[in-house]
């Protein structure tokens, strides 16, 4: 049996979403699509900041809602708080988007991702990208041609974090219990 899964790395500027399939029998993950929703702060000084925040949140929801609705389980790196009011606004918007997900949501911390990938809390963004690309070279990574050479873009960090969130989530008790329940349900049916 296979489950449609989603990995999320939520942020108001770069919202990473990875669509995949998890095979319950083999434990294998297949990445089917990766979407990075980039929203920029509005440049129109006539627009109130809260209206611009709402516009950006709406862009994220519109870009991700359809994909999330197709999934059986969502794995999400939860954002952490900030000292600045702007950072707290971003934090609140991301939590609101995650709270609206009407699917089993497996919550992951940034530290769990760093420990899984590098075994230490100082794991770099580049290490996370390399780790994810090693596991899923077939995934549609964001690249650019420069002087005839294909360059992997740094903004893949958000997609790599979403992939890592999936792998951390697969080890969580909440997910294991969900899979056990599904297996038992299939036996009964």
Q: For 87-135, how does the pLDDT look when each residue is reduced to its tens digit (9 = 90+)?
A: 888 899 999 999 999 999 999 999 999 999 999 999 999 999 999 999 9
Task: Report which DSSP code applies to 84.
Answer: S
CATH for 2-188 (3.30.420.10, 3.40.120.10, 3.90.1150.10, 3.30.465.10): 3.30.420.10
User: Which is more confident, 164 or 52?
Assistant: 164
Distance, in Å, from the CA atom of 144 to the CA atom of 150, rounded to the nearest integer, reads 6
pTM of the model: 0.92
Judge contact between 87 and 19, C-beta under 8 A.
no
Distance, in Å, from the CA atom of 124 to the CA atom of 110, rounded to the nearest integer, reads 11
Judge contact between 24 and 179, C-beta under 8 A.
yes
Q: For 128-172, how does the pLDDT look when each residue is reduced to its tens digit (9 = 90+)?
A: 999 999 999 999 999 999 999 989 899 999 999 999 999 999 999
Plot region of 182 (φ>0 → left; ψ -120 to 50 → alpha; else → beta): alpha
> What are the sequence ranges of the domains in the chain?
2-188
Residue 187 has pLDDT above 80, yes or no: no
């Amino acid at each position: 049996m296979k489950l449609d899964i989603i990995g999320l790395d939520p942020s108001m500027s770069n919202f990473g979403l990875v669509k995949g399939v998890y095979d319950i029998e083999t434990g294998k993950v297949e990445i089917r699509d990766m979407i990075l929703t980039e929203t920029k702060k509005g440049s129109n000084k006539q627009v109130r900041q809260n209206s611009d925040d709402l516009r950006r949140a709406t862009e994220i929801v519109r870009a991700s809602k359809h994909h999330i609705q197709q999934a059986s389980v969502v794995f999400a790196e939860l954002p952490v708080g900030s000292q600045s009011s702007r950072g707290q606004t971003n934090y609140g918007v991301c939590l609101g988007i995650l709270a609206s997900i009407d699917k089993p949501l497996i919550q992951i911390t940034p530290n769990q991702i760093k420990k899984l990938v590098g075994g230490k809390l100082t794991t770099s963004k580049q290490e996370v990208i390399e780790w994810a690309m090693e596991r899923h070279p077939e995934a549609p990574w964001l690249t650019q041609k420069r002087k005839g050479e294909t360059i992997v873009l740094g903004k893949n960090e958000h997609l790599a974090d979403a992939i890592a969130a999936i792998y951390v989530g697969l080890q969580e008790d909440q997910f294991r219990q969900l899979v056990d329940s599904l297996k038992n349900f299939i036996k009964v049916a």
